[in-house]
Amino acid sequence: MMDTDARLLIKVPLRVLALSAGYAAALALVERKFRLKPDHEWLEVAIGVGLTLVPVAMEAHTIEQERKNGASDPISWKTYEGSIWRSFMASGAPIIFWQIGEAIGRKWELMGYLSTTENGRSKVDANTAAQVADGSGDPEAGSTSGGNGGGAVLEGSAEEV
C-alpha cells in the first residue's frame, strides 16, 4: 500500500485529472451537439470545484479511518494542503487546454470564412476606402458620386427640432 503522502500528492491529483478531462469532454460534447453555450457557468464551476475537492476529502477520510485502525500514518496539514493545490492544478489543466483549443478552432473558422474569395476579393471586404468615402456601399462607385460619406446632412437650428 502507498504511504499517505504519495496517496494524497500523486494518486488523488491523477484521479482528479482524469475526472476533469472527462468533464471537459462532456462539456465540449454538449456545446457541439446542441450548438449552444449555456448560461450556467456558475454551475459548471461549482461542479468543477466539487470534482476537485471531493476526491481529496474522500482519500483523506479513508486515510484517517486507516489511521484510527493503526494501518496508516497521520496526515500532515502540509500534505493535505499540497494535495488540494495539486488537485486544483490537475483539474484546471484539461479545462484550460479545452478552452484554448476552442479559441484556436474559432479563429481558424473565422480565418477560413474571411479568406473565401470571389473574383480575387474577399466576400466580407465591404469597407474599402472608396465605399467609406462615398458611403454608397458600391466599390465600383468610388468617390465620384459626390456623397457626404454616408452621413446625414442636418439643416436648421436646434430650436427648430
Question: What's the grid cell of residue 123?
Answer: 466576400
- pTM of the complete model: 0.63
pLDDT tens per residue, range 10-54: 999 999 999 999 999 998 888 888 776 667 788 889 999 999 999
- Is the C-alpha dihedral spanning 80, 83, 87, 89 positive or negative? positive
pLDDT at 23: 94
Element (DSSP H or E) covering residue 117? strand 117-118
Residue ranges of domains in the chain: 4-95
pLDDT tens per residue, range 123-146: 555 555 555 555 555 555 544 444
What rounded mean pLDDT belongs to the chain?
A: 79
Q: Please write down the long-range contacts of 105-113, taking CB distance under 8 Å and 24 or more positions apart.
A: none
